Amino acid sequence: MAKENYSEWDKKALVEEIRKLKKRKKYGIVWEDKPEQVAELCKEKLPVLIEEKSKEIVTDSNKPTNILIEGDNYHALSVLNYTHKGKIDVIYIDPPYNTGNKDFKYNDTFVDGEDTYRHSKWLSFIEKRLKLAKNLLHTNGAIFISIDDNEQAQLKLLCDEIFGEKNFVSKIIVQSNPRGSQASKHFAEVHEYVLVYAKSLNKFEIKGFSKTDEDISEYSYTDKIGKKYRLLGLRQRGGAWKREQRPKMYYPIYVNPKNGSVSLTKSKAHIIETFPKRPTGEEGRWTWSKKKVMDNISLLTGKAVNRQGTENFYDIFRINYLTDDEGNEVMSKPKTIWIEKELNYQNGRNEIKNILGEDLFDYPKPTFLIKKIIEMLGNPNAIIMDFMAGSGTTGQAVLESNNEDGGNRKFILCTNDENNICTSICYPRIKRIILGYRNNKHEKVDGAEENLKYYITDFVDAKTTDKNKKSLVDKSTEMLCLKEDCFGKVKAGQQYALFKNTGNKYLGIVYDDDGIDSFKKEVRKLNIKTVVYVFSLDDSAREEEFSDIEKLVELKPIPAVILNVYRRIFK
């Protein structure tokens, strides 16, 4: 091999090469990024939303308003980065699995198993959307992603990079096909995965599940006041159990053999010294630190256990009550393997057939999976988004969960209309769940009686001319109503519009200078603090023109507030 003649290198080129080398990843997933048409389009046109009024559903104005967006999810997520940044509690998606059997389309072409850039295209596709989705999550929110082995490993590394490895919560194994797929060559595959990442792990909480009869049967002890409890070993039984792995968690605890009480110090009563040792005699470690033991000493007890070759051996157990101090059942911690029969993915197809009367969609997830996630998180007021909504399973799960427990959750669904999936499957399915329907047994099923807004993605020219800015303002109404959660029309015209929500919050939009005086009269009549978006060619909110009612308005300039978000996304 000929040696490189470095003397002929251009200095600037050499500096640039060094800069690239320094920026190169030291660890993580690397792929050849493939340009995507829907993303490239945003260099020329900016996405907006247009409401399809004919598809609006209103059953009870006091109930939540749910959102269905028809269009490419990259464009929908871009809009939501303005309207819902930091507002989403739960994201669930079921992306294409990239099996190589033409289940994934990139730039209008199906990707098959022979495509050299098969994985690169999938990673380019999912990365753009996950980055936008991360911005939408509330600080205590989380994303759940269904996936199988075709891209599971790559997705895990990508999510470690986007959400942070420290925010990984779990990889749930879901038994999706109990009989096992006979199409696989060596093993009959019975499972898929759900990857879970928190926006911030230290702020993310899981309520858990109600206990089954089998769970409750484990609580076989009763204390002096009649509360049921079980005993759980304080010694670490699972991973990292060795003393040398957590040396500070290896220390003696002293037991009173007469009543089982424990202490960190030896006394006349607490005379039995016990260490966290395995039955083999190997030194282990406790699951609690000394401080936690001291703070919760009343929840610990020592019991004599049989140890071959050891006399008078005591082990330490913690008391785990069935109910809390208020008498409420303590929820069970979710397990990482879900095997309920309702998770059989064939149930998803049956659900659609039961609602729409036809077998219209391949491989939909069963609502039980999403409802299990909703139950586990335990937030009755959550905003739940699915930006790969497909047949609308997530929407149905949210509506049914509200119906079952009286919650006020809201959903945001995004899907394109390829093969009429939005207009012929997703929307009709959600409509029937809201309004009621007759199932395939001709039985009447009552509706959830909630509300739905239907939007379609549209565009304005991206070049920041005054004309294009005005065009963005004219098409901003739906985005602003969505951002402020104000859909009740009070007044609407060419120059200004006024909206309110059920919480008596008001939103004003001033499209034109000629509408300012008339709008101010309306605000004076209301005499209520109103959020006002006013047309401005620069970033100024034009406070001087509203100085006479400054205590009644919270001013924001349009289109600047929207353009600033798009500049960040599409830079």
The pLDDT assigned to 265 comes to 96
Which candidate, 49, 48, 136, 141, places its Cα nearest to that of 85? 136
Residues 285-298 have pLDDT tens digits of: 999 999 999 999 99
Pairing of the two strands 168-175 and 191-198: antiparallel
Same domain for 513 and 490: yes
Cα–Cα distance, 125 to 147 (Å, whole number):
15
How far apart are alpha carbons 478 and 145 in whole angstroms? 29
**Total length of the chain:** 571
Other C-beta atoms closer than 10 Å to the C-beta of 266 total 12
**Across residues 43-55, what is the average pLDDT?**
96
- DSSP structural state of residue 365: P
Residue 525: inside a domain: yes
Query: In sequence order, what are the residues at sequence separation of 6 or more whose Cβ sits closer than 8 angstroms to the Cβ of residue 325?
Result: none
**Read out DSSP for 102-159?**
EEEEETTEEEETT-TTHHHHHHHHHHHHHHHHHHHEEEEEEEEEEE-TTTHHHHHHHH
In a domain? residue 299 = yes
Which pLDDT belongs to residue 327?
Answer: 87
- Assess if residue 419 is contained within a domain: yes
239 has pLDDT over 80: yes
d(CA 72, CA 387): 9
Calculate mean pLDDT across residues 162-177: 97
Here the tokens at position 289 are 């630190």
Q: Is the model's pLDDT at 174 over the cut of 50? A: yes
* Confidence bin at 15 (pLDDT 50/70/90): confident
SS3 assignment, position 562:
helix
* Strand ranges in 277-387 using DSSP code E only, listed in sequence order: 300-304, 314-321, 337-338, 383-386
pLDDT at 309 over 90: no
On whether both 268 and 416 belong to a single domain, the answer is no
Residue 187: per-residue pLDDT: 92
Distance CA 83, CA 183 (A): 44
Per the structure block, which two tokens stand in for 299?
């929840």
CA dist 524 and 83 (Å) reads 27
288 and 339 share one domain: no
Does a structural domain hold residue 17? Answer: no
Do 384 and 64 contact (CB within 8 A), yes or no?
Answer: no
- Say yes or no: 499 and 399 in one domain: no
Mean pLDDT lowest for which of 86-95, 392-401, 464-473?
464-473
- Picking from 296, 321, 346, the residue at the C-terminal end of a domain is 321
Please tell me whether the peptide bond between 35 and the residue prior to it is cis, using omega within 30 degrees of 0. no
- The CA–CA distances, whole Å, from 509 to 52, 302, 462 equal 20, 68, 22
Residue 1: pLDDT above 60? no
Same domain, 431 and 490: no
Shared domain for 445 and 505, answered yes or no, is no
**Terminal CA-to-CA distance of the chain, rounded, Å?**
42
Does residue 385 sit within a domain? Answer: yes
Shared-domain flag, residues 390 and 482? no
| Contact (Cβ atoms closer than 8 angstroms) between residue 136 and residue 199 | no
| Mean pLDDT computed over 179-183 | 85
Residue-level pLDDT at 328: 87
- In this structure, the answer to whether residues 180 and 256 fall within a common structural domain is no
Residue 7 pLDDT level (bands cut at 50, 70, 90): low
Whether residue 194 sits in one domain with residue 69:
yes
Task: Tell which residue, 523, 510, 511, 522, has the closest CA to residue 551.
Answer: 523
Q: Tell me how far apart the alpha carbons of residues 476 and 565 are, in angstroms, rounded to a whole number.
A: 14
Mean pLDDT of 437-456: 93
Instruction: Please identify, among 321, 356, 385, the residue that sits at the C-terminal boundary of a domain.
Output: 321
pLDDT recorded at residue 55:
97
Assess contact for 274 and 235: CB atoms under 8 A: no
Res. 3 pLDDT band, cuts 50 70 90: low
Structure confidence at residue 4 as a pLDDT band (50, 70, 90)? low
Would residue 451 count as lying in a domain? yes
Which of 273, 297, 321 finishes a domain? 321
Contacts of 456 (CB under 8 A, 6+ apart): 49, 50, 52, 69, 70, 71
Which CATH number belongs to the domain containing residue 379 in this structure? 3.40.50.150
Angstrom distance (rounded) from CA 91 to CA 197: 10
Higher pLDDT, 571 or 376: 376
- Residues 6+ away with beta carbon under 8 Å from 357: 440
The answer to whether 238 and 284 are in contact (CB under 8 A) is: no
Closest residue by Cα to residue 150 from 100, 207, 219: 100
What average pLDDT does the structure give for the chain? 92
Please report the pLDDT score of residue 198 as a whole number: 98
Among the residue ranges 243-257, 302-316, 335-349, 415-429, the one predicted with the least confidence is 302-316
Q: How many domains does the chain have?
A: 3
Mean pLDDT of 461-480: 92
Query: Does one domain contain both 253 and 344?
Result: no
CA distance 188 to 198: 32
Domain shared by 252 and 133, yes or no: no
Integer Cα distance of 67 and 385 in angstroms: 9
99-108, 225-234, 284-293: which range is least confident on average?
A: 99-108
Compute the average pLDDT of residues 398-426: 96
Provide, rounded to the nearest whole percent, the portion of the chain with pLDDT above 90. 78
Question: Lowest-confidence range among 25-29, 124-128, 315-319, 344-348?
Answer: 25-29
Is 90 exceeded by the pLDDT of residue 258? yes
Which residues span the domain enclosing 429? 36-209+335-455
The string of DSSP letters for 2-54 reads PPP-GGGS-HHHHHHHHHHHHHS-SSS--------HHHHHTTTEEEEEEE-GG
**Structure confidence at residue 325 (pLDDT):** 87
Q: Are residues 84 and 171 in the same domain?
A: yes
In a domain, 492, yes or no: yes
Q: Is 181 part of a structural domain of the chain?
A: yes
Chain-centre distance for alpha carbon 308: 50
